[in-house]
Chains A and B, each alone.
Chain A
Amino acid sequence: MGVKRRLAAFHLEVDPIACDGFGHCHELAPELVALDEWGYPIITPEPIGASDPALTSARYAVRGCPRQALRLERVKDAESRR
């Protein structure tokens, strides 16, 4: 588990239906989340490495979302992002 965790990469995923565009995620993780012209998040497609300091801000963004629309997902190698 420990080894896997260190090697894993993560990415933020937003539930677009739950999201109401509060913009907290952009405030908490500006390096990962940009906002579009209506205030809805655009999440960077690059995966976040486990030792990346961005992972901490990603966790803040997940916890700070007032709609609980953000999730931190582990990237699977075989699975391509849709």
Chain B
Amino acid sequence: MMRADDLPRLLRGTPGTPHTLDEHNSVFATTTSIPSPLEELEAAGVFGRGGAAFPTARKARLLRSQRGHHKSVIVNAMEGEPASHKDAALLSTNPHLVIDGAEILASIIGARRVVICVARNNTRVIARVTKAIHERERRRSRGVDLVLQTPPWRYVAGEESALVHWLNDNESLPQYRPQRPNILHVNGHPVLVDNAETCANVALVGRFGAEWYRALGTERHPGSTLVSVTGAVERPTVIEVAVGTPLRSVLSLANADPAPQALLLGGYGGTWISGEHLELTYDNESLASIGASVGAGVVAVLGREGCGVVETERVVRWMANESARQCGPCAFGLPAMGEDLAQMSAATRDAKLAHERLIERCAEIMGRGACHHPDGVIRLVRSALDVFAEDFAAHDRGEACVGAGSTRHFLSVPRLEHEGELIWE
């Protein structure tokens, strides 16, 4: 049996050579059986890893109370964040762990089908998941159906309503959902959408129990978590740390710059935090004190020689391009914010005006999209205005900072595609 305080838990094995079903069953060998998975999940306090950190047990309980003979569990491994590679790493190491977790969730809510969604361009992961599904199908005749679905890779395609929309109508566009609490349906049947990493955590609880699971992590957010570290690092990596590890040790584990200028936490819709806050621990309670959150587990490191204004502009322009262009405030507002930031990063004579306009536009656009895509961009811009206040002031005066001239960029941003090239179906 795996020791409770041993890391890695989720990434145990060799990345790139996934465990076969036999290997998987011997590595994650279990001696105890869990009588009631839902109570165990509640006791373990597993929380969602897709960004919102919602308690998984509460979501499962809500879906269990729904009626429907053809419910399904959707494993969201879309990874719209260009900086995030955790789901790919997880599915390339322990695909069976994710499927185990999805099956446990399916048994809790009474679902017959597990749908694993992997973005279409992630061919390696698709091959590994396909193999894992075949292995399982050969073993048993009964149990839930396993289906692999490959929606197109778009930033908003991983949003749960966009994913469900794709499964329904082959369109990866988010939907307007005014009801609260919101239950998503595929073909009229309720579905539970959970991140791949969440499913793997559920599998660990299902195998070893809540007490074992709580050996790592904090009281409110137990367990371990996957972190994709990019930017000023030796090489971009996915590491697994216990929740509540100090940020400093997260950086040193990933061989990152030990004294960065700033960190982008959560993803491209996340928050910049200043490099002074390395004494904070990597969990939501501690990060909330400076208005940040763990989000989707991205830590992008900005080195001393980088310019926060330029990096923010690049990310915002890309995010604006990735808008589904359904809601006016997002379709027009985000490109306008990108233009404002371009004025500022180039330190033109309109920079000061653009700065004021940007602040106004942030307040104007906030919360007016059908999904939270524009809200994420605004969170990013507001935190940038806060963290890089001095740099912004210098750019406003027309003196671009030293980093703005350098050709080295820290955040990886995909090529901007022309509107006609964007594939949504």
Binding site for B on A (CB under 8 A): 13, 15-21, 36-40, 42, 71, 73, 79, 82
Evaluate contact between B368 and A42: CB separation under 8 angstroms: yes
Q: Is the interface of B mostly helix, strand, loop or mixed?
A: loop
- B398: CB under 8 A from chain A? no
Within 8 A of A (CB), among B331-348: 332-333, 336
Main secondary structure of the interface of A (DSSP, over half): loop
Taking a contact as CB atoms under 8 Å apart, the answer to whether B368 and A40 are in contact is yes
A-B contact count (CB 8 A): 47
- 10 residue pairs of the A-B complex, CB under 8 angstroms, read A16-B176, A16-B326, A16-B369, A17-B327, A17-B370, A18-B176, A38-B332, A38-B333, A39-B328, A40-B332
Q: How far is the CA of A17 from the CA of B180 in the complex (A)?
A: 18
Residue of A nearest to B360 (CB): A37
- Asked if B178 CB lies within 8 Å of chain A CBs, one says yes
Q: Knowing A16-B176, A18-B176, A79-B180, say if A40 contacts B370 (CB, 8 Å).
A: no
B159 to chain A, nearest CB (A): 13
Question: Looking at A18, A20, A36, A73, which has the most chain B CB atoms within 10 Å of its CB?
Answer: A36
Known: A36-B364, A40-B368. A17 touches B326 (CB 8 A): yes
> Is B297 part of the binding interface, using a Cβ–Cβ cutoff of 8 Å?
no
User: A32 → chain B, closest Cβ, in Å?
Assistant: 15
Q: B residues within 8 A CB of A19?
A: 327-328
- Taken together as a complex, chains A and B put the C-alpha atoms of A15 and B333 apart, in Å, by 17
Q: Which of A16, A20, A71 makes the CB contact (< 8 A) with B368?
A: A16
Task: Say whether B329 faces chain A, with CB atoms less than 8 Å apart.
Answer: yes
Docked Cα-Cα span, A40 to B333, in Å, equals 10
Contact between B175 and A17 (Cβ–Cβ < 8 Å)?
yes
When distances are taken between beta carbons in the complex, the residues of chain B under 8 Å from A16 are 176, 326-330, 368-370
Interface string of B12-28 (1 = CB under 8 A from A): 00000000000000000
From residue 147 to 198 of chain B, which have CB atoms closer than 8 A to chain A? Answer: 175-176, 178, 180
A13–B330 Cα gap in the complex (Å)? 17
Query: What are the 9 A-B residue pairs with the smallest beta carbon separation, nearest first?
Result: A16-B327, A40-B328, A38-B332, A17-B326, A17-B176, A15-B176, A17-B370, A16-B370, A21-B328
